[in-house]
Chain A
């Protein structure tokens, strides 16, 4: 191949050299093919998730010490444990709770800490400090909380034809099949009833046959033994020997001989009923069918269900795992799952991620098409075609690099690509436009001219691209959960920018050489009406100093007015707006002391409310436990919630692509009925919508600290029922101070007990059997897939209340039976209340959600109130960021408010750093301190568009809006940079100052408008997204305002500077 013709004596810069190498190289076509292939592969192989995966290592540590009061637990277990843990590296917060007989410490590591290393350190730390725990504490249970534990698929099996045990058994069998799908990890069944062998003792018969609980317990345990006992060797053969016999069925348990009465054996079935079944019902799980249910509708409104929950292994693709699981499920319907069982997939994160990603890919296509239409209009179809070819190349290269870097494809990645789209066409446009200009000359060497054209624009283009990159990079330093959530933007935009630069220097000139055709007339078209109008205005501004001053003053006043908008609440701040989801949860907590049946009634009433909505497909009701956990539930501590007062309704809606109403509206419509129900039943009912970003424990949260816990509790209650209850838009106001509940203490009369030779320990043990039942080993049922415990208990009917203690007996060493009522008396007390701690300090949380609006203003309102008023006679010291003093009663605002402050602080500093970096680059480029400042004058001009844009569309100024502002800094600098560059060029060419300024503006008007329009139209599609709408508003309105104003303000600014410099240092100004 002939080398491109002779090149100019001045050496080529890096852009020119790149172009020279690739313009006629065969490699270029290979690069194109490779990029396309890599992109397609990446698009299919990269794991898809809806949102970026946030690694927050966390663990619950549960330590039991039977009999200890919450205060004891706090002092002896939780306090020392927290102190030990807080000494560890990488710990962010510790949350302790001291219950009766149980201490729970939740450890949260810093975001991004290595999960495995953190947990290993945690185990090590706890185990090496176990000796410091008081005697009588049980071995701690450590439950790591892992995002990968969150089920991605939940499948509900519902029928009333099977009982709880049979339903659970079916679910477990199905689970065993589904578990074989590749990529699954934790999988479990929720609901139904576990199989048990219940030995329901009859106290009357026991007395008749003279059998005590202790005897029964001992005999069953002794009968249920099978020990590998060695082996026999004889006849040259060796056989293993097992001694004993296992209890293999309820019948065998019943046939155990428990004692002898009148020389006849007394079997267990003589004194007890042995039942193989579900035992006492402790949890209730049901599925309800809403109006939008699309499968054949069951006859019942609600049905008992067992849910199969399957999580995926870290790093696998949720889409493929979910597909594999559901494929297997379809095969099971019929052979394993009977036809009368209703099978519903109630959660499918794979499909959710896939549809989220596909929708955005669609949006990306629409954005590309809009930009292409724009290019055709401005550049003509040949140039537009070349630029269009480069767009998918750049996007594909970016996706491939993201895949290699271990990223996932999620919503944020795709938003980053859409955002990058408006920027990345620029490089190609600039290059193609310049080649186009060069080709207009007649009789040229196409390759040589292309190289020269690239070489000419190379430096400013590199600089502009670098400016965009440095604007985004500081965003990587955002702390907290928001950091990894937003990370795809600062990661992918720079990659896209670099690849766009590379493609613009290699593929674009290569294609231009082959296809670009220049019209010699193109150069000679006269100025359009826009340019003529611009020229007229500029001349007017430049000729009269007074007009100029007036214009600049107006701009400054406008800027000041716009900056005052947040003060007058024309623009409201919020961290992230709500998302339109396919499901939401309603959590229920009934009064302490409520029974499972009470809770179930509240939950069922909620079912009646949600069933009426047109968009509800199914809903899962749970009472006594929570349903399948989700990410926000995991971080809110849902795994610790169980017991008869706990309930939950998970509501599943029609897919968002198939409904015109947002889940936010649906929740708003349901809320009045839910509030009425809460008021009627006295239960705490909260509607939990999954946040688009990082979850918080509560939207509005006040942490109340103070020296005396009782007082702190009183203050918290005052806040809860006073200030919080009367603040507008706060809903579901709650605190961690529980309602008073009753506790019956059975006090043993030691003197009487000693007289009869009974120890208080015997009484306690007997009572436990009587009330809770005791576990007595497991039955060895060959085909059971879950362990089947044997439980000894007394019939429910015989243990309803304190008046039944007269029917329970302890046997003293002489064999005399003494009724418990003779030794004890029942004292009714209030139950001790749990004590909460955060970071080693006693705390009471007062929490609330928001019906709508931003928590920022609710908190500010309450903050203002508390500044001037006392609560329970105490003036609370309020803090937002720092730790409150431990000597005074104080309150720290936490929850989303804290997160909002952190995010805006981090993004604000990122913005500051970005501006500093851009300034440094520009100083390097212009070798002047002043000109970069003029160039960067366009950055504040963006605000003139951003705030009014948000006000106009009634949107919150969110974290994504702030990201838009940071992006704008990089984008608009590019416009003014090229403007100033041209002015300087014209001046170097000898034009007078006024002419240089006007001519540069007229020449740059078209490309600047083209770039601005590309950004505005490219990002317009994002406006419909509830979360990233803010980013789009910032970009569109910011670019609009800044572009229009930049065209006047920057030349005027330079004009003023140059005139000033000429007057003071005539020799220096001429050099600039």
Chain B
């Protein structure tokens, strides 16, 4: 009787993991102090900035995958932009094109510098 009560219904089959193609993208690895401005804020290439459902930010390479990172962006120059908050200064940023990049896409990095 206890066994009857303890037996569970079978759960719906979980959706398979999303199979995303590995993308090859140019990346930039931030380094201190080269990428820090005189106020101590981090400078990143302007073209690394993108939007994810309206949030401003960048795609950061984490464990071989592109992950979106929300940023507060300060002054934007011609080639660089100042990040007021959101980066620690040692991240690897993915550069465009961003069309096929999803949150969690596997990325094969190619160093742009």
Contacts and interface: CB of A to CB of B under 8 A. Distances in A.
B33 interface: no
B6 A1024 contact: yes
Contacts of A159: 53
B18 interface: yes
Interface in B42-61: 51-56
A659 B12 CA distance: 10
Given A300-B102, A303-B53, A1020-B2, A597 B70 contact: yes
Contacts of B20: 299
Contacts of A798: 75
B88 to A, nearest CB: 9
Contacts of B39: 800-801, 803
A598 B5 contact: no
A1026 interface: no
A294 B15 contact: yes
Nearest to A795: B75
Contact of A1021 (B1, B52, B75, B105): B1
Contacts of B12: 294, 658
Interface in A351-369: 362-363, 366
A304 interface: yes
B48 to A, nearest CB: 16
In this complex, the member of B6, B53, B82, B86 whose beta carbon has the largest number of chain A beta carbons within 10 angstroms is: B53
Chain B interface residue number, banded? 35 or more
A296 B41 contact: no
Contact of A1020 (B1, B6, B9): B1
B64 interface: no
B69 to A, nearest CB: 7
Interface residues of A, number: 54
B89 interface: no
Interface stretch (A162-170, A703-711, A990-998): A162-170
A299 B13 CA distance: 18
A800 B54 contact: no
Given A293-B15, A296-B15, A796 B5 contact: no
Contacts of B4: 366
B99 interface: no
B79 interface: no
A658 B8 contact: yes
A278 B39 CA distance: 28
B14 A291 contact: yes
B74 A796 contact: yes
Contact of B55 (A166, A284, A595): A284
A797 B82 contact: yes
Contacts of A596: 70, 72, 85
Contacts of A167: 53-54
B13 to A, nearest CB: 7
Contacts of B75: 797-798, 800
B110 interface: no
Interface in A587-626: 595-598, 600-601, 604
A894 B16 CA distance: 47
A164 B1 CA distance: 53
B103 interface: yes
Nearest to B6: A1024
B53 A366 contact: no
B8 A657 contact: yes
A161 B53 CA distance: 6
Interface in A183-226: 193
A797 B54 contact: no
A133 B71 CA distance: 43
A366 B2 CA distance: 9
A278 B105 CA distance: 27
Interface in A145-164: 159-164
A302 B103 contact: yes
B17 interface: yes
Given A167-B53, A303-B103, A1021-B1, A601 B73 contact: no
Contacts of A298: 18
A236 interface: no
Given A298-B18, A366-B5, A797-B76, A658 B10 contact: yes
Contacts of A238: none
A370 B54 contact: no
B53 to A, nearest CB: 4
Contact of A193 (B6, B18, B54, B74): B54
A163 B56 CA distance: 10
A1021 B5 contact: yes
Interface string A656-681: 01111000000000000000000000
Given A659-B8, A660-B8, A1024-B6, A796 B84 contact: yes
Contacts of A362: 5
Nearest to A796: B74
Contact of A297 (B11, B16, B52, B68): B16
A597 B72 contact: yes
In this complex, the member of A160, A596, A657 whose beta carbon has the largest number of chain B beta carbons within 10 angstroms is: A160
Contacts of B96: none
B25 to A, nearest CB: 16
B85 to A, nearest CB: 4
Contacts of A370: 1
B104 interface: yes
Nearest to B54: A163
A299 B72 CA distance: 25
B61 to A, nearest CB: 14
Contacts of B85: 595-598
Nearest to B14: A292
A595 B86 CA distance: 8
B62 to A, nearest CB: 9
Contact of B11 (A302, A658, A796): A658
Contact of A657 (B9, B51, B73): B9
B84 to A, nearest CB: 6
A1024 B5 contact: yes
A300 B104 contact: yes
Given A294-B12, A1021-B5, A299 B69 contact: no
Contacts of A332: none
Interface string A330-365: 000000000000000000000000000000001100
Contact of B72 (A162, A296, A595, A604): A595
A162 B54 contact: yes
B53 A294 contact: no
Contact of A162 (B53, B71, B82): B53
A654 interface: yes
Nearest to A362: B5
Contacts of A166: 54
A935 B16 CA distance: 65
B54 A363 contact: no
Contacts of B13: 294
A1061 interface: no
Nearest to A614: B14
Contact of A1024 (B2, B73, B84): B2
A76 interface: no
A373 B47 CA distance: 76
B5 A300 contact: no
A797 B39 CA distance: 13
A680 to B, nearest CB: 12
B11 A292 contact: yes
Contact of A601 (B18, B54, B69, B72): B69
A800 B41 contact: yes
A41 interface: no
A234 interface: no
Contact of B104 (A193, A296, A301, A658): A301
B54 to A, nearest CB: 3
Given A167-B54, A295-B15, A660-B8, 15 more contacts: A278-B54, A281-B55, A281-B72, A294-B11, A294-B12, A294-B13, A297-B18, A299-B102, A301-B103, A302-B68, A304-B53, A363-B5, A601-B86, A797-B76, A1020-B2
4 A-B pairs closest in CB distance: A163-B54, A597-B86, A301-B104, A304-B53
7 contacts: A294-B12, A299-B105, A304-B55, A366-B4, A597-B70, A597-B85, A600-B86
